[in-house]
Chain A
Amino acid sequence: MSGAFRIGNAGRLTPARTARFTFDGKTYTGVEGDTLASALLANGVHLVGRSFKYHRPRGFLSAGAEEPNALVEISRDSARKTPNVRATVQELYDGLSAKSQNRWPSLSFDVGAVNDVASPFFSAGFYYKTFMWPKSAWKNLYEPNIRSAAGLGVAPDQPDPDHYSSRFAHCDVLVLGGGAAGLAAALAAAETGVRVIVADEQAEFGGALRFESGARIEDQDGWAWAQDVVARLKGMSNVRVLPRTTAFGYYAQNFVGMVERVSDHLADPGHDVPRERLWQVRAKRVVLATGAIERHMVFADNDRPGVMLASAARTYLNHYGVAVGRNVGVYTANDSAYAAAIDLKKAGVNVAAIVDLRDNPSGSLIDQARAAGIEIHDGRAVTRVGGKLRVSSMTVQPKNGGGERTIAIDALLMSAGWTPSVHLFSQSRGKVAFNDDKRFVPGTYAQDCVSVGACNGTDGLAASIDEAYAAGAKAAKEAGGKATKGNKPKVDADEIWSRGMLGSAPGAGPDTTVKAFVDFQNDVTAKDIRQAVREGMRSIEHVKRFTTNGMATDQGKTSNMHGLAIAADMLGKSIPEVGLTTFRAPYTPVTFGAIISHARGPLFDPTRRTPMHGWAEKHGAVFEDVGQWKRAWYFPQAGEDMHAAVNRECVAVRKTAGLFDASTLGKIEVVGPDAAKFMELLYTNPWEKLEVGRCRYGIMLREDGFIYDDGVVGRLAADRFHVTTTTGGAARVMNHMEDYLQTEFPHLNVWLTSISEQWAVIAVQGPKSRDIIAPLVEGIDMSDEAMPHMSVREGKICGVTTRLFRMSFTGDRGFEVNVPADYGQAVWEALWAEGRKHDAAAYGTEAMHVLRAEKGYIIVGQDTDGTVTPNDAGLDWAVGRKKTDFVGIRGLTRPDLVAKGRKQLVGLKTKDPKIVLEEGAQVVDNPNQPIPMKMIGHVTSSYWSENCGRSIALALVAGGRDRMGETLYVPMPDKVIEAEVTGMVFFDEKGERLNG
């Protein structure tokens, strides 16, 4: 027998198919099809957790996704630990291991429960008011201690070994919720032939039919009908049926996010199936059939284990065959709890009494209860319950005061009525309306969706199915379906209950001593909400934040309406005047795993590698990340640190030659009869007169006059330019060019092609560069006369097509060999073999940076920051003075851009040549001024230059070019560094080495 509280002839599970599991180390037996909650209840276990703030003992409130209390940790192994799992939705599997949370040393004896006794100190807003001073203590003292004492589960401390998947789907009609209404809507839509997806969060479809024993549809039990419909839907090729799938977010244009729990219910999922699957569904029409959630009654100690929703007790009985007690009490303000009492009574459970807050309730359910011999106390309230770890009695009193009576019970079923689940509707930006039944129901729709059944405030099975079937057919028709051929399901027997109460019942006061919980998960009581209003909160949004009502992981599914009603009562306003807080995604918690899916580790972001990456790896390169690129940073030899390697590489380039992988440069081909005109408009420089075969350093501005990008451009033909951009700027420069070509200069006949990935680029720089390249080149005369500095030739190298640039980013004679990417590594290896004959070195990006800084060549994005003009950077010579138009021409004459005192790029030489300034360090002209000092600039580039035998730096300094020779100061935490303002060129000032 799987538990003493399992009732032989009740429920739908097969008792012989047992599953063993552990809770807090103790082994129990359940049945296949159980949830962890039903299996524990079958074994008489109600106490499963401790509350967030007061560490009060807690049991199961519900039998579904709205559960605020029964949160446990489920673990498969040391890495697979999931905290805060609702035991009411966790399906049982053989070997499941669960642990209670937020208790020490044990669940039944928890030291933290001292908070409950000390609770007068922990009222609403306690943290805001108490832990204010000193400010610094918050970070180091208050927050860490509060966080360890409060809170629920513990996050896993190892990487998640599970894998997750993600799918996009399109459909005509998406039905969210698979209860009676959802199934009727799905059936109606599916019969028209349109594409339908129907999803439900539970393992089995059926919704409230799970417990509604009175429902009969199409001459069969309601649950059996639901399974029958699901089987039919599964058999239709135009329908996708998704159980265990929660629609958690409703986004713009009928885009719905859903999570399917694929293997959390399996004893041995294996490695082939994902743990969860994220569905991103775009639907022409959405049918919301999300049902309603029962509310609890708000009275003293309503959180004791054993006190639960009436529908939950009924679900445990009618579906799982589990009695939640042997002698139960019922406390209600509506009819539905009567049905639970009658079912339990029929199953042999004693119902001690039904306490009904209403005067003289009437109707068939009340009559049936009376006929079954159940005692009914109407016009009365349960003012408190007895028992600590489990409820033991209820105290009943006439609601307007009078004599008390205490009745022994071992479980208390409560129902304050039903709240339509408008979460997804509200997320779709629909506006809710407060109807005559005091319920918020869908009012104004913002998207192509429709609500049906209980979530629309429709009471009763027959009315819900009528409405849903019609809505399903209509949605299908609007989505392009044919007229339906099917028939509406016929409801033979129904259960109808509506009404109920909102807010606190008589047992919720007085405020001094009583804890009547509104929000179980965040430990918010009726008193807290009243106190919030007394302390001046007027808007429900403020009340919510002050008390944290509805802000726990259950998002107030059971508490929001009660909290709102109590606040409205205190404020003397109507509920709609006080307003409803906004529902936000996710409906229930979603794992990070499901959202990121495969996009983690190396798949988080693409990694770009150059064609020569393998060679660099083999030769010991240390790589640095530059955007998505992996770039060789330096090539340390045995015993070298970075500093030594970079020094050696820098010296080798200037002494003999160096090879550098420049493939990451952005490259764009600008082609067409108007190519030169286009270049004139996009760059500051003149291009019309640039000879074919020559190159020019180009500067690109934004319209505001600031430097956007730069690079060397070669003219391959009258109508063809090979443009290079910075590595990081490749994509945005292409976008910038396309934008102007398509929208501002569409009259120009020009084609733009990104060729960054097509050409590998090998920079060969240094006095021996020509000697290294020349033996491998065919068809190009590389003499200084035939191929001067800043020229480009097309020919062959190693038998492969090349665009050979003579250009320099080091100040020494240099070439950049462009070859088709597939040949990049082969040509590199050939050049390397030649280079070795001349003692050339391979150098990385660090040496490249040092060498260009020695010559004062700027790097856009390092020495400029989006507020630097060509003049600021000392590049006025590159702006065509005779030009009448280019992008940025007007920006350059803005008053601020021509004003005196702008920051200008200059060199800085530290007085002590050994000191290397820090990049980003601030510059001041008087180190003795009081703090905060006036900062006149900052260091943009700074290196040790082995070639200069000293440190070098570039800096943006206000009025910098008028300060040549001045001493400026760089204050650091431990000292002030003196530096002299100089020109930007530190090495070979005359530029003789370009032809050296």
Chain B
Amino acid sequence: MLLIRCPYCEEERPELEFRNAGEAHIARPTDIAAISDDDFEKFFFIRANPKGIIYERWRHVHGCARFFNAVRDTVSDKFVMTYKAGEPKPSKLPGVSK
């Protein structure tokens, strides 16, 4: 069972309290009704499935109930960092080379 740091509660809590909510940093287009089929496909259906660093959303569903973002390594399953919803994608990751 993973330990996940909730950026709102500011502490590490067991995975049981959380639920994954898919890839992060996919914003709903503000003019969604007007976008092309291709753009809608990219927005709604296409997801990255990287081996390594993934940016994803989690919800502290059995805690503060907030959605937040996390950076996780899909190989080691380790959480690199977590940050609040709405904050920009971090450009530098702690402890990750490249």
User: Is A253 among interface residues, defined by CB-CB distance under 8 A?
Assistant: yes
User: Is B77 among interface residues, defined by CB-CB distance under 8 A?
Assistant: yes
> Is the Cβ of B28 less than 8 Å from the Cβ of A703?
yes
> Is the Cβ of B77 less than 8 Å from the Cβ of A885?
no
Mask, A882-918, CB within 8 Å of B = 1, is 0011000111011100000000000000000000000
Q: Per a CB cutoff under 8 Å, which of A255, A738, A889 touches B32?
A: A889
Chain A: residues with CB nearer than 8 A to chain B? 251-253, 255, 280, 282, 429, 446, 703-704, 735, 738-739, 742-744, 746, 884-885, 889-891, 893-895
For B28, list chain A residues within 8 Å (CB): 703, 744
For B14, list chain A residues within 8 Å (CB): 282
Q: Which of B33, B59, B78, B85 is most buried by chain A, counting CB atoms within 10 A of its CB?
A: B33
A147 and B63 CA atoms in complex are apart in Å by 48
> Is the Cβ of B32 less than 8 Å from the Cβ of A742?
no
> Is the Cβ of A704 less than 8 Å from the Cβ of B44?
yes
Name the residue of chain A whose CB is nearest to the CB of B45: A704
List 5 tightest A-B contacts by C-beta distance, closest first: A890-B32, A742-B67, A744-B28, A889-B33, A253-B3
Closest Cβ of chain A to B23, distance in Å, is 12
> Is the Cβ of B40 less than 8 Å from the Cβ of A743?
no
A884 and B29 CA atoms in complex are apart in Å by 13
Name the residue of chain B whose CB is nearest to the CB of A884: B33
Q: Per a CB cutoff under 8 Å, which of B40, B57, B78, B85 touches A891?
A: B40
Which residues of chain B (32-82) have a CB below 8 Å from chain A?
32-33, 35, 37, 40, 44, 57, 59, 61, 65-67, 76-78
User: Is B86 among interface residues, defined by CB-CB distance under 8 A?
Assistant: yes
> Is the Cβ of A429 less than 8 Å from the Cβ of B1?
no
> Is the Cβ of A885 less than 8 Å from the Cβ of B32?
yes
User: Is B2 among interface residues, defined by CB-CB distance under 8 A?
Assistant: yes
| Residues A742 and B44 in contact in the complex (CB < 8 Å), given A282-B3, A889-B32 | no
For A282, list chain B residues within 8 Å (CB): 3, 14
> Is the Cβ of A252 less than 8 Å from the Cβ of B37?
no
User: Is B21 among interface residues, defined by CB-CB distance under 8 A?
Assistant: yes
21 CB < 8 A contacts A-B:
A251-B1, A252-B1, A252-B2, A253-B3, A282-B3, A282-B14, A738-B65, A739-B67, A743-B57, A743-B67, A743-B86, A744-B28, A746-B85, A884-B33, A885-B32, A889-B33, A890-B32, A890-B33, A893-B33, A894-B37, A894-B40
A439 and B2 CA atoms in complex are apart in Å by 32
For A251, list chain B residues within 8 Å (CB): 1
A282 and B16 CA atoms in complex are apart in Å by 14
Closest Cβ of chain A to B89, distance in Å, is 14
Closest Cβ of chain B to A425, distance in Å, is 15
> Is the Cβ of A735 less than 8 Å from the Cβ of B59?
yes
| Residues A890 and B76 in contact in the complex (CB < 8 Å), given A252-B1, A252-B2 | no
Closest Cβ of chain A to B49, distance in Å, is 19
For B86, list chain A residues within 8 Å (CB): 743, 746
A539 and B33 CA atoms in complex are apart in Å by 55
New A-B pairs, 10, CB < 8 Å, besides A282-B14, A889-B33, A890-B32: A252-B77, A253-B3, A253-B78, A704-B44, A738-B67, A742-B66, A743-B67, A743-B85, A746-B86, A889-B32
A252 and B1 CA atoms in complex are apart in Å by 6
For A739, list chain B residues within 8 Å (CB): 21, 59, 67
For B76, list chain A residues within 8 Å (CB): 429, 446
A885 and B59 CA atoms in complex are apart in Å by 25
A742 and B37 CA atoms in complex are apart in Å by 26
Q: Which of B2, B27, B28, B37 is most buried by chain A, counting CB atoms within 10 A of its CB?
A: B28
A309 and B32 CA atoms in complex are apart in Å by 72
A429 and B44 CA atoms in complex are apart in Å by 35
Name the residue of chain A whose CB is nearest to the CB of B34: A890
Name the residue of chain B whose CB is nearest to the CB of A738: B65
A738 and B21 CA atoms in complex are apart in Å by 12
For B66, list chain A residues within 8 Å (CB): 742
| Residues A253 and B2 in contact in the complex (CB < 8 Å), given A742-B67, A744-B28 | yes
A82 and B1 CA atoms in complex are apart in Å by 29
A429 and B33 CA atoms in complex are apart in Å by 47
A739 and B60 CA atoms in complex are apart in Å by 12
